[in-house]
Amino acid sequence: MARVYNWQLGRDMSYWYPEKRPQRQFAAVFDTNKCIACQTCTLACKTTWTSGKGQEYMLWNNVESKPYGSYPLAYDVRLLEQLDGQRWEGSRYAGRTIFEAAPAGERVLGWRPEQQDYSYPNVGEDDCAGQVDHGALIQVPHLSWFFYLARICNHCTYPACLAACPRGSIYKRQEDGIVLVDQGRCRGYQECVRGCPYKKVFFNPMTGTSEKCIACFPKIEQGVQPQCFVNCIGKIRLAGFLSAADQAKAENPIDYLVHLRKVALPLFPQFGLEPNVYYIPPIHAPLAFNEQLFGPGAGAAMAAYRGAPADRDLAGLLCLFGSTPSLVARWRRRGDLVSGLDEKASEIVRVPLLEPVHVRPAVDPTRQVVRTNCP
Ligand code: SF4
Ligand code: SF4
Ligand code: SF4
């Protein structure tokens, strides 16, 4: 095992290979507050990449309702139980990662789902935490809650799938940090399926190899966001590249949200993979639950997001989500207009910070008309 630095844990940790960061890292921000669980993303990926034989059960993109939803079944709870609690001391992780908790002779603490664990991808959908009492009225904060968590491969900086593969069939591209399975080398041992804590590698019984989200790299290479991003109805997603924390640039939208404003957080950072899909936590869910999913920064992230209506830069950048199919390398706000720019600083999209609101009176005395059925 090598010693590597994991900025999400605030410390060094053990990993099977030495630290080797790519020239730039594909990354994304998902705003959980805007997801409506329409599953358009799931189908956008399915129809593009996994419509073949042996791929029927695979959802490289899935959307689960928390707290009860999970795909495959209980993928998160099973590992959290095995990790025996997670302790943070401030922003430093004091517990063990899945690499540090690996049993003797193994590279990763993992488990392999059974076939039936993939059978109910929408289990727990729209089930809220707690009972809603008969006759209860909506109160704020919500006493009962749920939220939707959209998930793809995290294209981790320290991928457990890559570490676990005994044949070296999984690799992380130097040019963009995207993690891929070499189909020619893979022999279907499924150690990657066992090792990935997010369960985002899938075994194809027809080809006898493992397959996973490829971050739509043919699109990324063309400067276009992936399928599940551009088809997102809720406009919750933004794809781009993340700089190292000490080189963060305010003009880079991903850097701004992750490193500078710290409003977008990794999923289960305590596993130790330095995942590169970042989530704006749901602001109506309990802090303790958000901290278990997104780490100790959840409270500050929730407060920053709640303050967005008075924070024109943050609100402006959030308006850029889903506004263009192109990758947004830079952004800027001028007054009430927010622009997305490409790598050559050419403007590719411009959106207003505030949409105009027109309220038409139900009864128009000038024209003597009633505009609704219920004046
Ligand atoms: S999320 Fe899983 S499959 Fe994706 S890179 Fe990380 S360990 Fe590998
Ligand atoms: S990035 Fe592409 S391959 Fe990955 S889940 Fe989304 S659509 Fe599928
Ligand atoms: S398309 Fe967007 S809004 Fe719809 S479920 Fe997927 S992430 Fe959520």
Helix H, strand E, coil C: the string for 107-174 is CCCCCCCCHHHHCCCCCCCCCCECCCCCCCCCCCCCCCECEEEEECCCCCCCCHHHHHCCCCCEEECC
Q: What is the pLDDT of residue 158?
A: 98
Nearest-ligand number for the alpha carbon of 37: 3
- Report the alpha-carbon angle 214-219-223, nearest 5: 130
Residue 178 has pLDDT above 90, yes or no: yes
Closest CA to 266 of 250, 286, 245: 245
Q: How far is the CA of 157 from the centre of ligand 2 (A)?
A: 18
Token duo for residue 270 = 């305590």
**Least confident interval from 104-113, 134-143, 197-206, 270-279:** 134-143
Average of pLDDT values for 56-84?
95
The CB of 201 under 6 Å from ligand 2? The reply is no
Q: Give the burial class of 369: count Cβ atoms within 10 A of its Cβ; 0-12 exposed, 13-18 middle, 19 or more buried.
A: exposed
Task: Report percent pLDDT > 90 for the chain.
Answer: 89
Has residue 8 got a pLDDT over 60? yes
pLDDT at 136: 80
pLDDT band at 140 (very low <50, low <70, confident <90, very high): confident
Residue 40 Cβ contacting ligand 3 at under 6 Å: yes
CA of 28 to the centre of ligand 1 (A): 14
Please tell me the residue having the least CA distance from ligand 2 atom 1: 215
| Cα–Cα distance list, 149 to 65, 69, 133, 242, 288 (Å) | 6, 9, 26, 21, 17
Which residues 6+ apart lie within 8 Å of 137 measured at CB?
none
Q: How confident is the model at residue 206 (pLDDT cuts 50, 70, 90)?
A: very high
**CATH classification for the domain delimited by 2-129+141-280, as one of 3.50.50.60, 3.40.190.10, 2.60.120.260, 3.30.70.20:** 3.30.70.20
Query: Any idea which ligand is nearest the CA of 157?
Result: 1
Confidence band, pLDDT 50/70/90 cuts, at residue 70: very high
Confidence of residue 132 (pLDDT cuts 50, 70, 90): confident
Work out whether the CA dihedral 5, 8, 11, 17 comes out positive or negative.
negative
Mean pLDDT of 270-277: 98
Residue 189 is given by DSSP the state -
**Interval 10-14 mean pLDDT:** 98
pLDDT at position 84:
73
155 lines ligand 1 (CB under 6 A): yes
The atom of ligand 3 lying closest to the CA of 235 is 2
What percent of the chain clears pLDDT 70, i.e. is strictly above it? 99
Question: What is the residue with the minimal CA distance to atom 5 of ligand 2?
Answer: 61
> What are the structure tokens assigned to 72, written together?
């495959």
User: What pLDDT sits at residue 14?
Assistant: 97
Ligand 1: which atom is nearest the Cα of residue 200?
A: 3
Closest CA to 325 of 202, 222, 252, 243: 222
Q: Indicate if the pLDDT at residue 364 is higher than 90.
A: no
Q: What is the mean pLDDT of residues 322-344?
A: 97
Ligand 1 probe mutation, 45, 61, 200, most atoms within 8 A of CB:
200
Better-scored residue on pLDDT, 372 or 102: 102
Confidence of residue 373 (pLDDT cuts 50, 70, 90): low
User: For ligand 3, atom 2, which residue shows the shortest CA distance?
Assistant: 232
Return the number of other C-beta atoms located less than 10 Å from residue 205's C-beta: 13
Q: Is 123 in the pocket of ligand 3 (CB under 6 A)?
A: no
User: How is residue 343 written in tokens?
Assistant: 């790598």
The ligand placed nearest to the CA atom of residue 279 is 3
pLDDT value at residue 280: 98
Q: What is the mean pLDDT of the chain?
A: 95
Q: Calculate mean pLDDT across residues 10-33.
A: 97
pLDDT confidence bin for 374, thresholds 50/70/90:
low
Q: Is the CB of 59 under 6 A from ligand 3?
A: no
DSSP string over 226-288: -HHHHT-TT--EEEEEE--GGG--TTSHHHIIIIIS--SEESSGGGSS--SEEEEPPTTS-HH
pLDDT at 265: 98
| Å from CA of 213 to ligand 2 middle | 5
Each domain of the chain, given as residue ranges in start order, spans: 2-129+141-280, 311-375
Q: pLDDT tens digits, residue range 101-126?
A: 999 999 999 999 999 999 999 999 99
- pLDDT at residue 231 above 70? yes
Tell me which residue has its CA closest to atom 4 in ligand 3: 38
User: Which pLDDT band holds residue 370 (cuts at 50, 70, 90)?
Assistant: confident
* Per-residue pLDDT reduced to its tens digit, 44-69: 999 999 999 999 999 999 999 999 99
What's the whole-model pTM score? 0.95
Q: Which ligand 3 atom lies nearest to the CA of residue 234?
A: 3
37 Cα nearest atom in ligand 3: 5
How many Cα atoms occupy the beta-carbon half-sphere of 12 within 13 Å? 7
Across the range 238-266, mean pLDDT stands at 98
Please tell me the distance between residue 357's alpha carbon and the centre of ligand 1 in angstroms. 43
71 pLDDT tier (thresholds 50, 70, 90): very high
Among all ligands shown, which has an atom nearest to the Cα of 277?
1
pLDDT of residue 371: 79
Gap from CA of 129 to ligand 1 centroid (Å): 28
Lookup: tokens for 66: 């928390």
